[in-house]
A and B are shown apart, each in its own frame.
Chain A
Amino acid sequence: MTAVLQVDGLHKAFGGVRAVEDVAFAVSAGELLALIGPNGAGKSTCFNMLNGQLEPDSGVVELEGRDITGMSPRAIWRLGVGRTFQITATFASLSVRENVQMALYSHAGKLRSLLSRFGTALRTEADALLDQVGMLDQADRPCGVLAYGDLKRVELAMALANQPRLLLMDEPTAGMAPRERVALMELAARLARAQKIAVLFTEHDMDVVFSQADRIVVLDRGRVIAGGLPAEVRANPDVQAVYLGSGH
């Protein structure tokens, strides 16, 4: 099986600090890969090099065999990569449905119109996506008044609007109540597996990671120190040392 996302030899330094060093991993269709590590391990830097926010010093990022290293976030989205943010980013003054419609309109290349009325097209498609994430009943509310957990769901619906091959989720459950966290990640996992989407996510909550990830990659000080199935990673002494201190 070919990987949807293939990362090789990724390097990034800020001044003298080597934030990411020689990182490599791959994610296949329908697979959930968790990227974990203590604070400052390089997760966010790594993530931002995949989504186009940062340009790597060296290394290759390939999407379905195509080199996307250093492309803009816009271009990467056009190739079929959906994203959710650590701190939700939605359009607060637009309704939930309009938020999803923005993504759908953009995917369909329908945003350039100056005189047609926005919102009349792609309504059923938007509602279908909202139904998937359980937000249909709030479709007419402005995003600015939603609860945080609901915003995360809207983001997920927006991320799925371009029928992505790859979903990048930066701390998808940050800022949520513990029970909601597993529920949201379960939802994401269910949708991804059903639609054969490859998912890469970073996460601090180990309950979420070990219950939902198919595989886990562990970063520490910019390097991959372990990788594999949850059980293997859990048993890995290096990982235990990083998370629990070397005394264990």
Chain B
Amino acid sequence: MTFASFVIQLLNGLAAASSLFLVSAGLSLIFGVTRIVNFAHGSLYMLGLYGAYSLIEALGRTPLGFWSAVVLAALAVGLAGVVIEVVVLRRIYRSPELFQLLATFAIVLVIKDVALAAWGPEDLVGPRAPGLSFPIEILGRGIPAYDLMLIVVGPVVLALMWLLLARTRWGALVRAATQDREMVGALGVDQARLFTSVFFVGAALAGLGGALQIPREPATLDLDLSVIADAFVVTVVGGLGSLGGAFLAAVLIGVAKAFCIGFGFSKLTLVVEFVIMGVVLVLRPYGLLGKAPATPRAIGETPPPLGPPRRWPVAAWLVLFALVPLVGDRYVTVLLTDIVCFALFAVSLHFIMGPAGMVSFGHAAYFGLGAYAGALLFKKAGLPMELALVLAPFVAGLFAVVYGWFCVRLSGVYLAMLTLAFAQISWSIVFQWDELTAGSNGLVGVWPSAWLSGKPAYYWMALALCGIGIAILWRALFSPFGYVLRAGRDSPLRAEAIGIDLRAYQWAAFVLAGTMAGLAGSIFAFSKGSIAPSSVSIAQSTDGLVMVLLGGVETLTGPVVGAAIFTWLRDLLARETDFWRAALGLMILLIVVVFPQGLVGGLAALYARWRPA
């Protein structure tokens, strides 16, 4: 490594860091004040890129046109943030945190289709920055002048934000609300206006981050989730709510990525940021410059007691499900196979995020790894299909042993983001290890043995195995082990004070849930005959979250109902319209606003109200 190449890569990294910082700063600001983890923040960044592209086309490729376009795009995205806050989020500030998360997922779906409708599915390559496209020579290498300008943007925005927060009344309110939202409310500050303005600034920062990238990267529809993953990592590494931390983390990660590319380890780029995050979180659980979150004053709504399932209704449903292939057609059988796989997936996710209180943003890791393990044991190791199918969950379980060990050391949002990081690491490995996993193409020819090759036969096998999996998880919830998990969620302090090694139980719960998700994935892989990296993706993880939250995280049967409805709806909508994501998103938003306890919870509440006294 020569000194020159070192400097060049450093500059590349710093240029990339600026946009990363902008989008993360916005995310951090919004979270600090509203306590909403805005999953749609990456979508706002994406809108910034698309918006800048169109505005430049409209205003002309001149320096004036370019810069007006960038600024206008940022402001427009800021307004989009205001619309989101006023139309959706304001109605659900009193809902449980997870429900707000569900709403932001739905917004991701809607924005993706809005972008699809407005700009089409093709990648859009923007123009180079007019007036700044010439290279500047540094140590014998050419660096685009625009990149050097970007390096300056990050610190400038940091300074401006700092001034805004330190020197204005608005900034004082934001800082106060970040520290103690209740107190700010009690002092008579109009929270609705504060939240709206924070959303405007946060969204505009994301939009600016996106717009500034137009000369450097094409506008594509899958930026939303990849950017939100990056932004999560940066905010968590820097410390939630810390602008300086976000800047530091953005620089660290931007530079680390640039070095990976610059020195021929480009395969590592996807992994490196998550490795950094893992290391930082283990050493400094609240990020580089973050502080331990203040314990909320009110303990909040405690989850209601959970009742064990009643045997007869469950048995009746099982029989009903088993009978369907006898009357239904092939299509229905295939759909039901999907539903039972996702039911087990959702129940396993619910197991750790509901009763155990550990929200996972990356549960697809175990689903996907189970799927790949099944396919690889079958195709590469030459095991019989039945053996591969049954062994695969344990491979996923082994990953859960490793990932879980780190995860149970954290709690709350930090825990959730670490799970996302591990899922993303898994995805990168699967995506990049061409020789083993066939990369983006995925593995094909993963078919079940002859006796299971009929769709009804496979469905019955899937129903039986997933049923057993769900039965084990439900049984465990009402065992002493499951009670420890619930007790630990309710009061870790008390659990410790009656001699319970909570982490060990939480770790075991992680492994059990991961193994069961692996089983779901393995059954899924053999039902499709192929497996692609999307089974490990963030989208798959969020699908699981939506299923659980849709059904109701505080109920036992909710995740099963959520999985069935979500899978069926998605299938139905995907056949009816190209814009099924937006349709699904809008339906979720409707449900969120009407049934803040999830479908099963909401119906139970309705039933309780109308039941004769």
A59 at the interface (CB under 8 A from B): no
Q: Are B496 and A74 in contact (CB under 8 A)?
A: yes
B488: nearest residue on chain A (CB-CB)? A91
B154 at the interface (CB under 8 A from A): no
Number of A-B contacts defined by CB within 8 Å: 101
Q: Are B501 and A144 in contact (CB under 8 A)?
A: no
A85 and B498 alpha carbons, distance in the complex (Å): 12
B493 at the interface (CB under 8 A from A): yes
B302 at the interface (CB under 8 A from A): yes
- A89 touches which one: B304, B478, B481, B491 (CB < 8 A)? B491
Known pairs A77-B499, A144-B302; A118 contacts B493 (CB<8 A): no
A111 and B509 alpha carbons, distance in the complex (Å): 14
Give the residues in chain B near A179, CB-CB below 8 Å.
Answer: none
Give the residues in chain A near B481, CB-CB below 8 Å.
Answer: 111-114
Q: Smallest Cβ distance from A105 to chain B, in angstroms?
A: 6
Give the residues in chain A near B486, CB-CB below 8 Å.
Answer: 91, 93-94
A248 at the interface (CB under 8 A from B): no
Q: Are B490 and A85 in contact (CB under 8 A)?
A: no
Q: Are A93 and B480 in contact (CB under 8 A)?
A: no
Give the residues in chain A near B505, CB-CB below 8 Å.
Answer: 111
- B476 touches which one: A89, A92, A107, A115 (CB < 8 A)? A115
A93 and B304 alpha carbons, distance in the complex (Å): 6
Q: Are A92 and B299 in contact (CB under 8 A)?
A: yes
Q: Are A118 and B491 in contact (CB under 8 A)?
A: no
Query: Which residues from 455 to 482 on chain B have a C-beta closer than 8 Å to any C-beta of chain A?
Result: 475-476, 478-482
- A74 touches which one: B304, B306, B487, B501 (CB < 8 A)? B501
Interface range on chain A: under 10, 10 to 19, 20 to 34, or 35 or more? 35 or more
Q: Are A77 and B497 in contact (CB under 8 A)?
A: yes
A162 and B497 alpha carbons, distance in the complex (Å): 11
Known pairs A110-B480, A118-B480; A92 contacts B490 (CB<8 A): yes
Most buried by A among B305, B480, B487, B505: B480
A158 at the interface (CB under 8 A from B): yes
A103 at the interface (CB under 8 A from B): yes
Chain B, residues 476-516, CB within 8 Å of chain A (1/0): the string is 10111111101101110111111111000100000000000
Chain A, residues 106-140, CB within 8 Å of chain B (1/0): the string is 11001111111111000000000000000000000
- B479 touches which one: A83, A91, A95, A116 (CB < 8 A)? A116
Classify the secondary structure of B's interface with A: helix
A73 at the interface (CB under 8 A from B): yes
Q: Smallest Cβ distance from B59 to chain A, in angstroms?
A: 57
Give the residues in chain A near B500, CB-CB below 8 Å.
Answer: 74, 102, 106, 111
Q: Are B480 and A113 in contact (CB under 8 A)?
A: yes
Q: Are B499 and A78 in contact (CB under 8 A)?
A: yes
Chain B, residues 438-455, CB within 8 Å of chain A (1/0): the string is 000000000000000000
A142 at the interface (CB under 8 A from B): yes
Query: Which residues from 204 to 243 on chain B have a C-beta closer than 8 Å to any C-beta of chain A?
Result: none
Known pairs A91-B487, A93-B302; A118 contacts B499 (CB<8 A): no
B504: nearest residue on chain A (CB-CB)? A112
B412 at the interface (CB under 8 A from A): no
Q: Are B498 and A103 in contact (CB under 8 A)?
A: yes
Give the residues in chain B near A78, CB-CB below 8 Å.
Answer: 499
A156 and B276 alpha carbons, distance in the complex (Å): 45
Q: Are B494 and A74 in contact (CB under 8 A)?
A: no
A78 and B499 alpha carbons, distance in the complex (Å): 6
Q: Are A95 and B476 in contact (CB under 8 A)?
A: no
A74 and B500 alpha carbons, distance in the complex (Å): 7
Query: Which residues from 54 to 71 on chain A have a C-beta closer than 8 Å to any C-beta of chain B?
Result: none
A107 and B496 alpha carbons, distance in the complex (Å): 12
A100: nearest residue on chain B (CB-CB)? B498
- In the assembled complex, 20 residue pairs joining A and B whose CB atoms fall closer than 8 Å, in A order, are A51-B497, A73-B496, A73-B497, A74-B501, A89-B493, A94-B483, A95-B305, A98-B483, A102-B483, A106-B499, A111-B480, A111-B505, A112-B481, A113-B480, A115-B479, A117-B478, A144-B302, A144-B304, A158-B494, A162-B498
